[in-house]
Amino acid sequence: KTTYLRNEITNFLQKPNETFNEAWERFKDLLRQCPHRGFFELHQLDTFYNALNPNDQDALDSAAGGNFLDKILRECLSIIESKSKVRYSRSRVTDSRANTNAPLSSSLPSNSFDLQQIAASLEDKLDIRMNRFEKSLNDMKAYFTPTAPIKAVEE
């Protein structure tokens, strides 16, 4: 059983339609089932991050203000838990709305939530793009070294 769980942890991948929160909860469940797994926490974090789809990796990088894995372990876990709670609360409201028989257009609060969800999604995407843009600018700045001003030589 331990070997099976170790392989499940090592080969963990986010499923195609799995939300960030669902993937995180599933990963934590695997870790709980195998307490003597022999993985350092940093290795666990690296495994989880690399198992995510590119959009969720970008969201973590954006929340970290750069490369997510460059942060210290405690910060990484805090970012993951924070993102997981936000995603979870959004998906719960969406799920509960999907189970009602009332049409969406008749419910003002759900329309308001839809706008909030769209705005939050756009904000996440904008943050990701801005971080990429800033990184590109910094990379370009590194290639060009400013020249010192030339002083006139007096004779």
The number of angstroms, rounded, from the C-alpha of 72 to the middle of its chain's C-alpha atoms is 15
The domain ranges of the chain are 2-143
What is the CA angle 44-76-27, rounded to 5? 40
pLDDT digits (tens, 9 = 90+) for 15-40: 999 999 999 999 999 988 877 656 78
- CA–CA dist 76, 25 (Å, integer): 16
User: What's the pLDDT score for residue 150?
Assistant: 60
Which ranges in the chain belong to alpha helices (H)? 2-10, 20-33, 41-51, 54-64, 73-98, 108-143
**Phi and psi (nearest 5°) for 10?**
-60, -40
- Whether the CB-CB separation of 29 and 21 falls below 8 Å is answered with no
Full-model pTM? 0.56
